[in-house]
Amino acid sequence: MRPVYLDHAATSWPKPESVLLAAEEAVRYAGGNPGRGTHPLAETASELLYACREEAADFFGSEPERTVFTPGATYSLNMAIRGLAEPGCHILIDGMAHNALLRPVLALEREGICRADVYSASADGEELLADLESKIRPETKIVAATHQSNICSRVLPVERIAAFCRERGLHFVLDAAQSAGRIPISADGWGISALCVPGHKGLNGFPGVGLLILGKDVKPKPLVYGGAGIRSLEEDMPPCLPERLEPGTLPLPAIAALLAGIRGIRAVGQERIALRERELSLLFVRGLGGIPGFRTAGETDGNVVSILHREKTPSEIGEILAQYGICVRTGYHCAPLAHRTLGTEKDGTVRVSFSASNSEKDVERILNVLGEID
Amino acid sequence: MSDCIIAMKSRTAAEKAKRYAARRSRVSVVSLDPSVTRYGCSVGLRVSCSEAGRILAELERQGIEHGETIGGSL
């Protein structure tokens, strides 16, 4: 039986044909190492690399020179937080933060480099901003925010948080792991210092590549050092971006896939994708309302819906669904702060996450199985 | 017709410059001879010397960082 894939918040699947083809073509015809030499295969690879950089920069409202390829959003967040932190500084993160953001900040605290606090991830924007304001200190340097939660569909008012930071001269780091490809983002327009994006979720690319898009005049310290293809006789990484933050060989097949993924999203439109996902999640929530014993946790008006059963644990529900080929994620989803915010820290939740590639039939299949659970 | 090389600050800058310059001129990215750089591997943009002045002006307009121009007389 065909699996019903409802775990798009973890990674998107299946990948569009254009994405698979782009990766294959990169391996077959652009096999050189981009930025390393100018022979024909390296040249083709460099052109392909730049094409993706340019497309991604344009998609997120930035410039190619400030669009850095990373191994993924977790790396991007680590590079941004560690690269911008200074000894003695104070960092603020939101109450929906994923461990990809929380852990690098806590590590800096443990190392005695920075102090950190958590500000409210309230669904009420005024409440959120008031709490954020109350937690600012003279030594605050970085404010980070989760654009969309990975356990429910809550979206934080990040444009307002960005403006708040801009007015106070603070760095604003945005975790767009769940929102990129679904919610339009304007990196320069909003004044984002560091936009952290995965390639394999909403952008439909492969795991292994992400983006760190930097604001004008934002230059984090490198996290990793190595060859950059230029200025090889110098001891330090080259001063220019993006090469300063891109040591080692880049994963060109995954980057080619990302280029195809972004182009595919542009062809359809993020608004249309988000609308379709919302239709499916609303259909699911409406159906769930008719099944005794289940409830939702947090916002449900996006592509991510968390559910709970009055008796069975999330992992028990997940196991039953898996027996029917239905793929969901259960537990804490690497986001303990978010579960505390939603009051679901006891066992976590069953997370059902849709994409526009799902159908009404998929919703019907999961509801049928959930309906059989006592 | 002789060629000139515009030294570029990075490979990304070279690719960006090539996009702009290639709209009206024949250009290619080339490795620079180690003897012309003090810091190792570097790249430049090979252009027709007769086009170099126009291309440099375009790079300035676009804010694309570049180094000196090698060869020809501008």
A236 close contact with B: CB closer than 8 A: no
For chain B, the domains span 3-70
Confidence of residue A1 (pLDDT cuts 50, 70, 90): confident
* Peptide linkage before A242 cis (omega within 30 of 0): yes
pLDDT score of A38? 85
Res. A259: pLDDT tops 60 = yes
- Dihedral pair phi/psi, residue B55, rounded to 5°: -65, -40
The distance of A360 to chain B (nearest Cα, Å) reads: 44
Q: Decide if B11 and A53 are in contact by the 8 Å CB cutoff.
A: no
Cβ contacts of A315 within 8 Å, gap of 6 or more: A330, A331, A347
A227 close contact with B: CB closer than 8 A: no
Q: How many residue pairs from chains A and B have C-beta atoms closer than 8 A?
A: 61
Pick among B5, B8, B9, B12 to test the A interface (most A CBs inside 10 A): B12
Please provide the average confidence, as pLDDT, over all residues in chain A. 97
CA distance A268 to B21: 31
Angle at A262 between CA A71 and CA A154, to 5 degrees: 80
Res. A146: pLDDT tops 80 = yes
Q: Decide if A231 and B43 are in contact by the 8 Å CB cutoff.
A: no
Cβ contacts of A338 within 8 Å, gap of 6 or more: A95, A96, A97, A98, A121, A146, A149, A150, A151, A152
A111 close contact with B: CB closer than 8 A: no
Q: Decide if A53 and B12 are in contact by the 8 Å CB cutoff.
A: yes
Domains and CATH numbers, chain A: 4-14+269-371 (3.90.1150.10), 17-267 (3.40.640.10)
Averaged pLDDT for residues B11-33: 89
A245 contacts in B (CB within 8 Å)? none
Inter-axis angle of helices B11-21 and A40-59, to 10 degrees? 80
- Dihedral pair phi/psi, residue A105, rounded to 5°: -70, -45
A231 close contact with B: CB closer than 8 A: yes
Those residues of chain B whose CB sits closer than 8 Å to some CB in chain A are 9-13, 15-16, 19, 28-31, 38-43, 65
> What DSSP element (H or E) covers B66?
strand B66-70
pLDDT score of B73? 46
A247 close contact with B: CB closer than 8 A: no
Tokens of A90: 């104070």
> What DSSP element (H or E) covers A57?
helix A40-59
Res. B74: pLDDT tops 60 = no
B66 contacts in A (CB within 8 Å)? none
The distance of A227 to chain B (nearest Cα, Å) reads: 11
Pick among A33, A38, A49 to test the B interface (most B CBs inside 10 A): A38
Report, at the CATH architecture level, how domain B3-70 is classified: 2-Layer Sandwich (3.30)
pLDDT digit string, tens, across residues A74-95: 999 999 999 999 999 999 999 9
For residue A325, how many C-alpha atoms fall within 13 Å in the half-sphere facing its CB? 7
Lowest-confidence region among A66-70, A195-199, B20-24 = B20-24
